[in-house]
Amino acid sequence: MSRILVVEDESTIADAVLYALRADGLQAEHFLLGRPALARLRAQPFDVVILDVGLPDISGFELCRELRQFSEVPVVFLTARDGEVDRVVGLELGADDYVVKPFSPRELVARVRARLRRASSTQHALRESGDFSHDLGGQRIRYRGAWLPLTRYEYQLLAVLLGRPGAIFSREQLMDHVWRDAPETVDRTVDTHVKTLRAKLRQVAGDADPIQTHRGQGYSLKTSE
């Protein structure tokens, strides 16, 4: 089932949108503020994001800019004024569509459906590797049939290990690959993320421990038993 994230601070508009999405068989989650929505998007992949431009904490534009640093999820903007439309169109924010308020929720749902159709027709092939499937375009990884709810760094860490199954990566190499943009972090960051990653893999398959520790050398990934 497709998952839609709605970010809109006006409850009456949000309620109408959520109702229309759910009536059309879509799964919808709602946030009143931008920051918590962004945190949710980092933790969990969605299929489409509906994003109000005028939010109380950060603007929809800023949210979209930050979102594009880690996700290519289609974004449909809800705009209030013509001036905002100009910016949506003009700023190359990575918006995929927009509707101007007041709008009909059914029209919005039709736009969302169009984004979903396009996404599925250009769907990136999954790179299969044993128990893992890697959706490079969608930046998500499936393990034994379940999509893993990974944070950005957990995803990048697993993606690096998955790139060369069985190869041992030192902590230093993993730091270089994964934490390139966060130079102040210490070595232990790798261990901490391996720990949370293992916990998430165990939630899918309690008996399995595909991440192997090589004492004094680093980590590797075993993609099948």
Residue number with CB closer to Ca ion (76 or 190): 76
In the complex, the smallest distance separating the C-beta of residue 71 from Ca ion, rounded to whole angstroms, is: 22
The count of C-alpha atoms lying within 13 angstroms of the C-alpha of 131, restricted to the half-sphere facing its C-beta, is 16
SS (H, E, C) 91-150: CCCCCCEEEECCCCHHHHHHHHHHHHHHHHHCCCCCEEECCEEEECCCCEEEECCEECCC
Contacting Ca ion within 53-82 (CB under 5 A): 54
Candidate segments 48-56, 92-100, 101-109, 215-223, binder of Ca ion by CB under 5 A: 48-56
Element (H, E) at 4: strand 3-7
Q: Examine residue 9 and tell whether it contacts Ca ion (CB under 5 A).
A: yes
Residue number with CB closer to Ca ion (61 or 143): 61
Question: Residue 201's closest CA among 209, 193, 189?
Answer: 209
**Out of 6, 17, 31, 52, which residue is the one contacting Ca ion (CB under 5 A)?**
52
What one-letter code names the amino acid at 84? Answer: E
In the complex, the smallest distance separating the C-beta of residue 87 from Ca ion, rounded to whole angstroms, is: 15
Residue number with CB closer to Ca ion (9 or 72): 9
Given the rule CB under 5 A, which residues bind Ca ion?
9, 52, 54
